[in-house]
């Protein structure tokens, strides 16, 4: 562990905060999670993406010692969660699923509760955190009277209380309105900018795409892919929408040149993308280099090219490809 962090420093990489190594969980005879490994570094927002029931929550719970892994290990800032939970968890703030707080206490009393569970949290820190999430005006009201968004913010406040190095948010946008989601996104980004490592799990791919630097995609208990969001997208093939005149000859020419045409674009792309200017275009799937080779050949064949639009795949497509169209919702 130590060696690694020295090596990191030498390579000028930020320090590893969370190291997940070959996690496996078997409940009864069922393997819920298998061979899940990833690392999260300082200042990084890491997305954990997968449909419901893919093992996301189980993995998140193993990170914070709610579930004991059958195999593998989780270490936080160099401390194994299983062996030394008190030390390891002192670096973590988390919300697992919903931000469950005591509704018969006030927001402030809730924060006091959590403050007493870790050393060195001053009254000032309580107030500071309450202000940070914008709850200071109602912090002395009973949580019963809070809206879902306010509870969410209280949850974040308690997670931030101990100034954690690692923040774990399980489905943080659940129940928030679009404005709230945007605010949360900005807030998380600002935390990361201050050097915090953040793990966000979600089944909403667009969220992850907007929020995260790196992502691991999990399905049926296994990590299908992981890496920087941009890199994952670059490595996958993109779609090209051709607007050719005349359309029928264009189609023939593309086929003749060995292109794969997509008969039902609605199945792979959002319909909204294909309306408007791109109405009636021919959709193909190819790598970026291929486009450049194709254009002169089409011109040679006497086909007029009115437009060739490259459409970058969203994570959604990526995900659909990987999970063989497994239902997301």
Q: Does 109 bind another protein (CB under 8 A)?
A: yes
CA angle 62, 65, 66 (to 5 degrees): 80
CB 219 within 8 A of CB 54: yes
Q: Extract the tokens encoding 124.
A: 């000032």
Binds another protein (CB under 8 A): choice among 90, 174, 236, 237: 90
Binding mask 39-68 for another protein (x = CB under 8 A): ----------------------x--xxxxx
**Minimum distance from residue 281 beta carbon to another protein (Å):** 49
**Minimum distance from residue 105 beta carbon to another protein (Å):** 6
**Minimum distance from residue 41 beta carbon to another protein (Å):** 22
Which residues 194-233 are close enough to bind another protein by CB under 8 A?
none
Of the candidates 267, 281, 271, 280, the residue with the CA atom closest to the CA atom of residue 310: 281
**Minimum distance from residue 289 beta carbon to another protein (Å):** 48
- Strands of the 282-286 sheet, one edge to the other: 282-286, 238-245, 304-311
With contacts defined by CB under 8 A, name the span among 7-15, 112-120, 244-252, 306-314 that binds another protein: 112-120
CB 57 within 8 A of CB 98: no
With contacts defined by CB under 8 A, name the span among 115-123, 197-205, 231-239, 248-256 that binds another protein: 115-123
Q: Does 96 bind another protein (CB under 8 A)?
A: yes
| Helix or strand run (H / E) with residue 61 | helix 56-63
Nearer to another protein, 102 or 145 (CB): 102
Binds another protein (CB under 8 A): choice among 88, 129, 166, 218: 88
**Minimum distance from residue 7 beta carbon to another protein (Å):** 28
Measured distance CA(227)–CA(220) in Å, rounded: 19
Q: Does 29 bind another protein (CB under 8 A)?
A: no
Binds another protein (CB under 8 A): choice among 3, 10, 86, 275: 86
Measured distance CA(62)–CA(36) in Å, rounded: 11
**Residues whose CB falls within 8 Å of the CB of residue 216, separated by 6 or more in sequence, listed in order:** 36, 38, 46, 47, 48, 49, 223, 225, 226
Other Cβ atoms closer than 10 A to 140: 11
Rg (CA), the chain: 24
Nearer to another protein, 155 or 313 (CB): 155
User: Which parts of this chain interact with another protein (CB under 8 A)?
Assistant: 27, 61, 64-68, 85-90, 92, 94, 96-98, 100-105, 109, 112-114, 116-119, 123, 158, 162
């Amino acid at each position: 562990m130590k060696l690694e962090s020295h090596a990191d420093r030498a390579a000028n990489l930020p320090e590893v905060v969370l190291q997940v190594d070959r996690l496996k969980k078997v409940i009864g005879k069922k393997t819920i999670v298998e061979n899940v490994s990833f690392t999260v570094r300082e200042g990084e927002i890491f997305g954990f993406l997968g449909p419901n029931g893919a093992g996301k929550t189980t993995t998140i719970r193993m990170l914070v010692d709610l579930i004991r892994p059958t195999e593998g290990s989780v270490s936080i800032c160099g401390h194994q969660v299983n062996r030394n939970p008190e030390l390891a968890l002192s670096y973590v703030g988390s919300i697992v699923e919903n931000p469950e707080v005591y509704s018969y206490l006030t927001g402030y009393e809730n924060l006091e509760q959590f403050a007493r569970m870790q050393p060195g949290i001053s009254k000032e820190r309580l107030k500071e955190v309450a202000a940070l999430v914008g709850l200071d005006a109602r912090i002395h009201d009973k949580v019963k009277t809070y809206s879902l968004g306010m509870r969410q913010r209280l949850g974040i406040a308690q997670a931030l209380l101990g100034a954690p190095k690692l923040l774990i948010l399980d489905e943080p946008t659940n129940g928030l309105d679009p404005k709230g989601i945007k605010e949360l996104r900005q807030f998380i980004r600002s935390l990361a900018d201050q050097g915090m490592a953040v793990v966000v799990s979600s089944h909403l791919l667009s969220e992850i795409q907007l929020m995260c630097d790196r992502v691991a995609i999990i399905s049926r208990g296994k990590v299908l892919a992981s890496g920087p969001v941009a890199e994952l997208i670059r490595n996958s093939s993109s779609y090209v929408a051709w607007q050719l005149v005349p359309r029928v000859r264009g189609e023939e020419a593309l086929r003749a040149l060995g292109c794969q045409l997509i008969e039902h674009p609605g199945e792979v792309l959002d319909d909204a993308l294909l309306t408007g200017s791109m109405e009636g275009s021919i959709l193909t799937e190819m790598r970026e280099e291929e486009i450049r080779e194709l254009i002169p050949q089409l011109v040679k064949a006497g086909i007029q090219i009115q437009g060739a639009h490259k459409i970058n795949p969203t994570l959604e497509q990526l995900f659909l490809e990987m999970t063989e169209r497994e239902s997301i919702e």
